[in-house]
Structure 1
Amino acid sequence: MGLCKILSISSFLLTTLFFTSSYAATFNIQNHCSYTVWAAAVPGGGMQLGSGQSWSLNVNAGTTGGRVWARTNCNFDASGNGKCETGDCGGLLQCTAYGTPPNTLAEFALNQYSNLDFFDISLVDGFNVPMTFSPTSNGCTRGISCTANIVGECPAALKTTGGCNNPCTVFKTDEYCCNSGSCSATDYSRFFKTRCPDAYSYPKDDQTSTFTCPAGTNYEVIFCPTFEIRNSCPYTVWAAAVPGGGRQLDQGQTWNLSVSSNITGRIWGRTKCSFDEAGRGSCESGGCGGLLECQEYGSPPNTIAEYTLNQSNKTDLFDVSLVDGFNLPMEFSPTSDGCRGANCTGDINGPCPNELRDLGGCNNPCTVFKNSQYCCTSGICGPTTYSEFFKDRCPNAYSYPEDDDSTSLFTCSTGSNYRVVFCP
């Protein structure tokens, strides 16, 4: 009888432990900034992360009020005591309290109502470091981001060392802090919201800023993500990147992609794809050897975002190219440096010349005719009536291989972040 009772209690404990652990979450916290950050988490503590380093953090189910953020320009002694320019948590490397504004926040509550996790990015404590916060498991795919140049464009009244304060921190009035429990958007909150539509811009900004996933989902927090790839088309697009792979993006979904420095790559959209569970299938345009996870460039026609990072004088080079034709409208813009972006949003598929028409898009003449006049295989060529057709509709995109003047090739300082939008 006693043994049976002990076994019964042990079984209950094991069941309870399994239930609890099955809804715990792992947070993979990555620093892709070109500088060191001191990651902080409550619960969790803190860790210094050099550029490219990561920190894996396990968080128990049922945790509420959780936060992850980055601290900048810190100095700690061997005992873990010191201070940070932004996000400081009482002078400790291992945080037990929330950080001091300004700091961009990843907030979460795990396994709450209806066995859901709730998560958001909040600017209620201001902004210091660009951030993405994305689920990585459990079939949950809606990530959120705040990667705009908020520090550079910060209103003078909110500027502070290392970041941009929220107006509540500065003015401490009910209008901005919502102390009475009732308040609305202001010009200052709209400054944040227009630049980071997914993020909390003031305390009552719940409707467009809180997201959910099934309990037990794992998450990724990235400081200074390199590329934010967003599908704004009214249909599904299968985003592709080399390096990077590929991902299905329904309307409004985002894929946050980080790549190493000194990399040359491409990003493009594929249309009308069908893949099996093994990630094999085909696409009407932009297919890459029948794989969901691209390892090679796409088949024409496809609009291409091209880039080469960290070149001479610490400069990134980037462009939108129609050298492989056109399938989707695209915008390719820096988000954190104030540099000029490139785009191709003209109506190309509709008026495409008959001889260039293809399923899902409009081919470049090189793809169709395969001669030196259009492909520039001899190394010297000029514009043609076909390239002028593309250039008239997309003035700052490559229209033929030698079209690499200031109208087509753009630069930004190394370390910048970028946004690629399909159907902007």
Structure 2
Amino acid sequence: MRILKNLPAFCILCATLFFASTNAARFDIRNNCPFTVWAAAVPGGGRQLNRGQSWALDVRAGTQGARIWARTGCSFDGAGRGRCQTGDCGGVLQCQAYGQPPNTLAEYALNQYNNLDFFDISLVDGFNVPMDFSPTSNGCTKGIRCTADINGQCPNQLRAQGGCNNPCTVFRTDKYCCNSGSCGPTDLSRFFKDRCPSAYSYPKDDPTSTFTCPGGTNYRVVFSASFNIRNNCPYTVWAAAVPGGGRQLNRGQTWTLNVKPGTKMARIWARTNCAFDNSGRGRCQTGDCGGFLQCQAYGSPPNTLAEYALNQFGNKDFFDISLVDGFNVPMEFSPTSNGCTRGIKCAQDIKTQCPNELKAPGGCHNPCTVYKTDKYCCNSGRCGSTNLSKFFKDRCRDAYSYPKDDLTSTFTCPGGTNYKVVFCP
């Protein structure tokens, strides 16, 4: 908040925080991320938080210029001296000063004008972790979210280890830093604003980025993995996700989906040739999920699938592209963070080349859908590849072609990785 300029940020990765009482605010800072963060607070100090751990911090009423943020990639000795890749506060575990950019900030000032709390998410120091910051009491319901894949999409000139710098940090000019008190948005600040419309994108971004609640309100901040779903097809698709729901995506449009750590048996797919009424009821030619825009169940074949399970054995994400429900739209499924670079693509013209016995309106069936036999469906748990499954494997070598095709078709990344799913890459 640039009224909150001094009003700081409680931004810890995967955290939940609560302000309580008119005399003091309680911040319960919780790390729900699948990796360790080093929570930092001014006032407050700092603490290592492994996945699932929390830190209860009491802050006096009237406090302003306060911040809470996540530090990543840290190492401290027994005396609490060390260094962090992002958010470092002078090389100490117990912060007495603000962190070094880039770091996503949750900023707040308690019991100010008219006994209101002022709060914001700020990207004026850049971005290192996704954040959801929302009130949970006092009848205050307007929260803030910044969970787009900013690190993965960061412009080259703003890239930093572990995060994405704000242009002021890089160029240090009045144009970006507003030192004279008079400046406006720029193309680089719009990069942040387009992805997180409710967050501060440059120092004078007050009208759309400062929020209030009555003093004594409780709050939560949650961090989670994000999936950036983009339609590059020359036609409209209706993206579907379980969990997640659904959304119409015209050519070039995107949908950022946030998924909780530990989620498994999850799918993302494209539906084609859909028509829905104002209540979200209708039908799709491929991938239909019971006639709803907002999917609660898997889609009807044929449909190309992005499948994943987060933070499983060894704290790894497991992901694949599957043709076990057939094919309707070319797809790419790739990681965009955590140094994980091995993605999957199935972009061949399978529909046009589809064997006659597998052809379907709008797509190409997998043989299990057509014949429903153990030979193709592996219901007994024992089956191998067939000439028909090899048709898919020959065209998309990294994708599942039949239900037991694990050895060549399952990929992993460290837990906490962000991903992109692109239709028609």
Q: TM-score, normalised by structure 1?
A: 0.60
Task: State whether residues 238 and 273 of structure 1, in contact with CA within 8 Å, keep that contact through their aligned partners in structure 2.
Answer: no
Unmatched 5+ stretches in structure 2 = 1-20
Alignment of 1:149-164 (within 5 A): none
Deviation at 1:364, TM superposition (A): 1.4
Change (3 A) 1:266 1:174: same
The match for 1:240 is 242
Task: State whether residues 335 and 418 of structure 1, in contact with CA within 8 Å, keep that contact through their aligned partners in structure 2.
Answer: yes
Q: Say whether 1:49 aligns with 2:52.
A: no
Q: Which amino acid aligns with 1:203?
A: Y
Aligned counterparts of 1:215 and 1:327: Cα–Cα separation in 2? 47
Select the residue among 366, 371, 386 that pairs with 1:382: 386
Task: State whether residues 320 and 342 of structure 1, in contact with CA within 8 Å, keep that contact through their aligned partners in structure 2.
Answer: yes
Task: State whether residues 348 and 390 of structure 1, in contact with CA within 8 Å, keep that contact through their aligned partners in structure 2.
Answer: no
RMSD: 5.9
Alignment deviations for residues 78-114 of structure 1 (CA, whole Å, 9 cap, x no partner): 9xx978634356899897974333323356899x9xx
Q: Which amino acid aligns with 2:245?
A: R
Aligned counterparts of 2:170 and 2:142: Cα–Cα separation in 1? 41
Deviation at 1:70, TM superposition (A): 0.7
SS of equivalent to 1:145 = coil
The match for 2:129 is 130
Change (3 A) 1:371 1:416: same
Q: Say whether 1:249 aligns with 2:252.
A: no
Q: Which amino acid aligns with 2:386?
A: G
Q: Which amino acid aligns with 1:253?
A: W
Task: State whether residues 135 and 141 of structure 1, in contact with CA within 8 Å, keep that contact through their aligned partners in structure 2.
Answer: yes
Alignment deviations for residues 15-51 of structure 1 (CA, whole Å, 9 cap, x no partner): xxxxxx9xxxx99965343433233467998765321
Q: Say whether 1:226 aligns with 2:225.
A: yes
Q: Which amino acid aligns with 2:225?
A: T
Aligned counterparts of 1:416 and 1:275: Cα–Cα separation in 2? 37
Deviation at 1:322, TM superposition (A): 0.9
Identity of aligned residues (%): 44
Deviation at 1:309, TM superposition (A): 5.4
Change (3 A) 1:214 1:163: closer
Aligned counterparts of 2:56 and 2:362: Cα–Cα separation in 1? 42
Unmatched 5+ stretches in structure 1 = 1-20
Alignment of 1:14-163 (within 5 A): 30-40=30-40, 48-53=48-53, 68-72=68-72, 73=74, 85=84, 86-88=86-88, 98-106=98-106, 122=123, 124-127=124-127, 129-133=128-132, 144-146=147-149, 148=151
Alignment deviations for residues 247-305 of structure 1 (CA, whole Å, 9 cap, x no partner): 33354332200222xx753322374597999x9x88643537989674x7554333222
SS of equivalent to 1:103 = coil
Number of aligned residue pairs: give it.
Answer: 373
Aligned counterparts of 1:287 and 1:213: Cα–Cα separation in 2? 38
Select the residue among 386, 389, 398 that pairs with 1:396: 398
Q: TM-score, normalised by structure 2?
A: 0.60
Deviation at 1:133, TM superposition (A): 3.4
Q: Which amino acid aligns with 2:132?
A: F
Aligned counterparts of 1:66 and 1:232: Cα–Cα separation in 2? 40
Aligned counterparts of 1:130 and 1:238: Cα–Cα separation in 2? 25
Aligned counterparts of 1:327 and 1:109: Cα–Cα separation in 2? 51
Q: Say whether 1:421 aligns with 2:425.
A: no
SS of equivalent to 1:368 = helix
Aligned counterparts of 1:92 and 1:168: Cα–Cα separation in 2? 25
